[in-house]
Amino acid sequence: MPSNKSVSDAPITQFVNCRILKDHRLQWEDLWVREGKILNPEKLFFDEEGYADHKVDCGKKIIAPGFIDVQINGGYGIDFSQASGDIRRGVAQVAKKILEHGVTSFCPTLVTSPPDIYHKVIPELRVQDGGPEGAGVLGIHLEGPFISEQKRGAHPPKFLRTFKAGGVADLMETYGHLDNVALVTLAPELANSAAAIRELSGRGIVVSLGHSMADLSQAEEAVQNGAMCITHLFNAMLPFHHRDPGIVGLLTSDRIPPGRMVYYGMIADGIHTHPAALRIAYRAHPAGLVLVTDAVTAMGLPPGQHSLGQQQIDIQGLHAYVAGTTILSGSIATMDMCVRHFREVSGCTVEAALEAASLHPAQLLGISHRKGTLEFGTDADFIVLDDTLTVRETYIAGQQVWRK
């Protein structure tokens, strides 16, 4: 228990016999937790003369930051883009289930929908901390409706919109308000998009480029206006061409403003992106890769037809199609599956695979000072994995919330 010099009477837990992911490498170190935060043991020993109340033997397993999924449309029969029923209960159901896949925080994602759906759903999706009841909500990801008709993918064309005047008026008319919004995907080639990008970025909302016909110069201009991410790289955008690499060219562009980083989402499910394409992207720009599931309603459900926003999707094996077509419509992959697949086909280190699902999304959202790492003082959201990168335990704020 803490000594009389301790700054807190809260119990201290020491995780031992583990390799922790810190400073970009796995290290044989203990992990100390108090009051939901990662504790600096040196300060505990020398300043407080305290010690652990509880010890947890991890059996030589890996401790890594909890996964963060910034693009997930639903799962387990729940569609975040549907306004029917109890919206909060549906989000809570998904939040609870994804704990077993190592996800401790996520961004519920809404696909292209009519304004009345946004006006009903957005107020219900509030930022909240995670805990035993489920993963935390970091904010909403609005994917559409300001996207290209030619690259709409599974998004219903009748609900697509353009920027009439640009800026806040079009955004508010469509979404109702932007409270609790963390990220917006849009096509930068749309007329008047620059003002919208500046408005969103100025509010601290991440702008991601996707479902777009943009060439490289249009994408670079969008980044100069504040955009900082690419939505599911390679999917729903112009293919790479040596004379104009399109949005993909942002990975090696020399027109990114100094001190800025462009991140890019990758659906590493073995279906959306060929392993060779995934390797090209990773080797060109490893620090920007953010693993996403882009999971849809049918994640965790058997094959058959399910809803996604205003459309029906058909699950065949590991593929999710717009019903009656061969158009891919999100994935049914879980985040731990994506991490393992990425590690296998990219040849990257275990550390890099884990950081692509934790540190990088935290950096994208500007929250790496409290999530996505095991640095002292950060939130004690972490997972315990075996050497196959199978999640064995999930912790939020230092409390075990799931165990295999």
The first and second tokens of residue 333, run together, are 């992959």
The first and second tokens of residue 168, run together, are 């806040």
Q: Is 356 annotated as a binding residue?
A: no
Q: Has 86 been annotated as catalytic? A: no
Q: Report the side by side order of strands in the sheet with 319-322.
A: 304-308, 311-316, 319-322
Angle between helices 193-202 and 168-175 (to 10 degrees): 80
Q: Is 328 annotated as a binding residue?
A: yes
| Residue type, position 392, single letter | R
Q: Is 203 annotated as a binding residue?
A: no
Give whole-number Cα distances, 348 to 51, 99, 345, 365, in Å.
37, 25, 8, 23
CA-nearest of 46, 36, 54, 38 to 6 is 46
Q: Is 173 annotated as a binding residue?
A: no
Is omega for the bond preceding 257 within 30 degrees of 0, making it cis? no
Distance CA 1, CA 190 (A): 61
Q: Is 341 annotated as a binding residue?
A: no
Pairing mode, strands 31-34 and 12-22? antiparallel
* DSSP 8-class letter at 157: G
Q: Is 141 annotated as a binding residue?
A: no
Residues in contact with 251: Cβ distance below 8 Å, sequence separation at least 6, in sequence order: 233, 262, 264, 281, 284, 285, 288
Q: Is 143 annotated as a binding residue?
A: yes
Burial 345-374 (b: 16+ CB within 10 A, else e): bbebebbbbbbbbbbbbbbbbebbeebbbb
Q: Which residue blocks in 203-320 are alpha helix, DSSP H? A: 216-224, 275-284
Q: Is 255 annotated as a binding residue?
A: no
Distance CA 236, CA 99 (A): 29
Q: Is 274 annotated as a binding residue?
A: no
Q: Is 346 left (phi over 0), alpha (psi -120 to 50) or beta?
A: alpha
Instruction: List residues bridging with 353 in a β-sheet.
Output: none
Q: Is 26 annotated as a binding residue?
A: no
The first and second tokens of residue 11, run together, are 């119990």
Distance CA 132, CA 150 (A): 43
Strands (E), 39-110: 54-65, 67-72, 74-75, 78-79, 103-110
Distance CA 213, CA 134 (A): 37
For the chain, the first-to-last Cα distance in angstroms comes to 29
Note whether 246 and 238 are within 8 A (CB): yes
> Among the options 269, 294, 314, 381, which is catalytic?
294
Q: Is 49 annotated as a binding residue?
A: no
Known binding-site residues for Zn(2+) equal 143, 211, 232
Write out the catalytic residue numbers.
294
Annotated binding site for substrate: 154, 235-236, 243, 272, 328-330
Which positions make up the binding site?
143, 154, 211, 232, 235-236, 243, 272, 328-330
